[in-house]
Amino acid sequence: MAFWHREAPVDDVDEGDLTLSDGMHSAAGPVAVGVAMKRGLEQMGVRRTAGTLLRLNQVEGFDCQGCAWPDPAPGHRHAAEFCENGAKAVTEEATKRRVTPEFFAAHPVAELAERTDYWLGQQGRITHPMVLREGASHYVPISWDDAAAMFAETMAGLGSPDEAIFYTSGRVSNEAAFAYQLMVRSLGTNNLPDCSNMCHESTSVGLAQAIGVGKGSVSLEDLYRADVIVVAGQNPGTNHPRMLSALEEAKKNGAKIIAINPLKETGLVKFRNPQTPRGMVGPGTEIADLHLPVRVNGDLALFQAIGALLVEWDALDHDFLARHTAGYEEYRDHLGSLDWDAVLRATGLSREQVTEAARMIAGSSATIYCWAMGVTQHRNAVATVREIANVAFLRGDIGKPGAGLCPVRGHSNVQGDRTMGIWEKMPGSFLDALDAATGITSPREHGLDTVDSIRAMAEGRAKVFLGMGGNFVSAAPDTAVTEEAFRGAQLTVHVSTKLNRSHVVHARQALILPTMGRSEKDLTGGVVQRVTVEDSMSAVHASHGPLEPASPHLRSEVDIVCLLATACLGEDHVVDWPRLRADYTEIRRLIAQVVPGAAAYAEKVDAPGGFVLPHGPRDTRTFPTEAGKATFAASPIDVLHVPEGRLLLQTLRSHDQFNTTIYGLDDRYRGIKGGRRVVMVHPDDAADLGLEVGGWVDLVSEWTDTETGEASERRAPWFRVVAYDQPRGCAAAYYPETNPLVPLGSTALESNCPTSKSVIVRLERVDAPTGVVGSDAGWVVPTA
Ligand X SMILES: Nc1nc2c(c(=O)[nH]1)N[C@H]1C(S)=C(S)[C@@H](COP(=O)(O)OP(=O)(O)OC[C@H]3O[C@@H](n4cnc5c(=O)[nH]c(N)nc54)[C@H](O)[C@@H]3O)O[C@H]1N2
Which residues of this protein are in contact with ligand X, per CB under 6 A? 66-67, 85, 169, 171, 195, 198-199, 232-235, 238-240, 260-263, 265, 294, 296-297, 299, 372-374, 377, 410-411, 468-472, 475, 495-498, 500, 515, 517-518, 557, 650-653, 657-661, 735, 738-739, 742, 756-757
The DSSP code for 777 is T
Q: How many residues bind Mo ion (CB under 5 A)?
A: 2
Select from 198-206, 214-222, 320-328, 443-451 the region that touches Mo ion (CB under 5 A).
198-206
Task: Tell me the Ramachandran region of residue 695: left when phi exceeds 0, alpha when psi lies from -120 to 50, beta otherwise.
Answer: beta
**How far apart (Å, rounded) are the C-alpha atoms in residues 421 and 593?**
13
Rounded to the nearest whole angstrom, what is the least distance from the CB of residue 287 to ligand X in the complex?
13
Nearer to ligand SF4, 242 or 655 (CB): 242
Rounded to the nearest whole angstrom, what is the least distance from the CB of residue 409 to ligand X in the complex?
7
Rounded to the nearest whole angstrom, what is the least distance from the CB of residue 204 to Mo ion in the complex?
12
**Residue in 241, 348, 374, 410 binding Mo ion, rule: CB under 5 A:** 410
Nearer to ligand X, 440 or 505 (CB): 505
Reported as type and span, the H/E element at residue 373 is helix 373-376
Residue 723 site contact among Mo ion, ligand X, ligand SF4, none (CB < 5 to 8 Å, cut-off depends on kind): none
Nearer to ligand SF4, 353 or 657 (CB): 657
Rounded to the nearest whole angstrom, what is the least distance from the CB of residue 536 to ligand SF4 in the complex?
9
**How far apart (Å, rounded) are the C-alpha atoms in residues 19 and 495?**
37
Nearer to ligand X, 374 or 782 (CB): 374
Residue 173 site contact among Mo ion, ligand X, ligand SF4, none (CB < 5 to 8 Å, cut-off depends on kind): none
Say if residue 683 is preceded by a cis peptide, omega within 30 of 0. no
Q: Are 295 and 648 in contact (CB under 8 A)?
A: yes
The DSSP code for 779 is -
Exposed e or buried b per residue across 730-769, where buried means at least 16 C-beta atoms within 10 angstroms of its C-beta: bbbbbbbbbbbbbbbbbbbbebbbbbbbbbbbbbeeeebb
Nearer to ligand SF4, 85 or 500 (CB): 85
Residue 682 site contact among Mo ion, ligand SF4, ligand X, none (CB < 5 to 8 Å, cut-off depends on kind): none
Rounded to the nearest whole angstrom, what is the least distance from the CB of residue 336 to ligand SF4 in the complex?
43
Residue 650 site contact among ligand SF4, ligand X, Mo ion, none (CB < 5 to 8 Å, cut-off depends on kind): ligand X
Residues 6 or more apart whose Cβ sits within 8 Å of residue 439: 574, 575
- For Mo ion, the nearest residue by Cβ is 410
Nearer to Mo ion, 148 or 199 (CB): 199
Residue 242 site contact among ligand SF4, ligand X, Mo ion, none (CB < 5 to 8 Å, cut-off depends on kind): ligand SF4
E-state strands within 600-729: 611-612, 630-631, 647-652, 657-658, 661-662, 666-667, 672-673, 678-681, 696-704, 711-723
Residue 557 site contact among ligand SF4, ligand X, Mo ion, none (CB < 5 to 8 Å, cut-off depends on kind): ligand X
Rounded to the nearest whole angstrom, what is the least distance from the CB of residue 242 to ligand X in the complex?
11
Nearer to ligand X, 279 or 407 (CB): 407
Rounded to the nearest whole angstrom, what is the least distance from the CB of residue 453 to ligand SF4 in the complex?
28
Residue 658 site contact among ligand SF4, ligand X, Mo ion, none (CB < 5 to 8 Å, cut-off depends on kind): ligand X
In terms of DSSP H, where are the helices of 595-633? 601-604, 616-620
Reported as type and span, the H/E element at residue 491 is strand 491-496
Q: Are 331 and 638 in contact (CB under 8 A)?
A: no
**How far apart (Å, rounded) are the C-alpha atoms in residues 178 and 222?**
30
For residue 212, the number of C-alpha atoms closer than 13 Å in the C-beta half-sphere is 21
Instruction: Provide the 10 A C-beta neighbour count for residue 30.
Output: 12
Exposed e or buried b per residue across 65-81, where buried means at least 16 C-beta atoms within 10 angstroms of its C-beta: bbbbbbbbeeeebeebb
Select from 151-159, 191-199, 300-308, 331-339 the region that touches Mo ion (CB under 5 A).
191-199
Nearer to Mo ion, 199 or 246 (CB): 199
Exposed e or buried b per residue across 364-381, where buried means at least 16 C-beta atoms within 10 angstroms of its C-beta: bebbbbbbbbbbbbbbbb
- The footprint of ligand SF4 (CB under 6 A) covers 57, 64, 66-67, 69, 82-83, 85-86, 89, 240-242
**How far apart (Å, rounded) are the C-alpha atoms in residues 17 and 775?**
7
Nearer to ligand X, 545 or 683 (CB): 545
Rounded to the nearest whole angstrom, what is the least distance from the CB of residue 48 to ligand SF4 in the complex?
18
Task: Give Rg (Cα) of the chain.
Answer: 25
Reported as type and span, the H/E element at residue 112 is helix 109-112
- Closest among 652, 752, 760, 68 to 381, alpha carbons compared: 752
Nearer to ligand SF4, 28 or 454 (CB): 28
Nearer to ligand X, 62 or 430 (CB): 62
Rounded to the nearest whole angstrom, what is the least distance from the CB of residue 82 to ligand SF4 in the complex?
4
Nearer to ligand X, 287 or 630 (CB): 287
Assess 477 for contact with Mo ion (CB under 5 A): no
Q: Are 240 and 211 in contact (CB under 8 A)?
A: no
Rounded to the nearest whole angstrom, what is the least distance from the CB of residue 448 to ligand SF4 in the complex?
30
Q: Are 321 and 621 in contact (CB under 8 A)?
A: no
Rounded to the nearest whole angstrom, what is the least distance from the CB of residue 333 to ligand X in the complex?
27
Assess 372 for contact with Mo ion (CB under 5 A): no
Q: Which residues does residue 761 pair with via DSSP β-bridges, in sequence order?
A: 647, 701
Residue 270 site contact among ligand SF4, ligand X, Mo ion, none (CB < 5 to 8 Å, cut-off depends on kind): none
Rounded to the nearest whole angstrom, what is the least distance from the CB of residue 474 to ligand X in the complex?
7
Assess 675 for contact with Mo ion (CB under 5 A): no
Q: Which residues does residue 680 pair with via DSSP β-bridges, in sequence order?
A: 722, 732
Q: Are 761 and 645 in contact (CB under 8 A)?
A: no
Residue 235 site contact among ligand X, ligand SF4, Mo ion, none (CB < 5 to 8 Å, cut-off depends on kind): ligand X
**Residue in 64, 89, 182, 199 binding Mo ion, rule: CB under 5 A:** 199
Rounded to the nearest whole angstrom, what is the least distance from the CB of residue 601 to ligand SF4 in the complex?
22
Instruction: Provide the 10 A C-beta neighbour count for residue 684.
Output: 11
Binding residues among 494-533 for Mo ion as defined by CB under 5 A: none
Name the maximum alpha-carbon separation found in the chain: 71
Nearer to ligand SF4, 63 or 299 (CB): 63
Rounded to the nearest whole angstrom, what is the least distance from the CB of residue 256 to ligand SF4 in the complex?
23
Nearer to Mo ion, 472 or 719 (CB): 472
Binding stretches for Mo ion (CB under 5 A): 199, 410
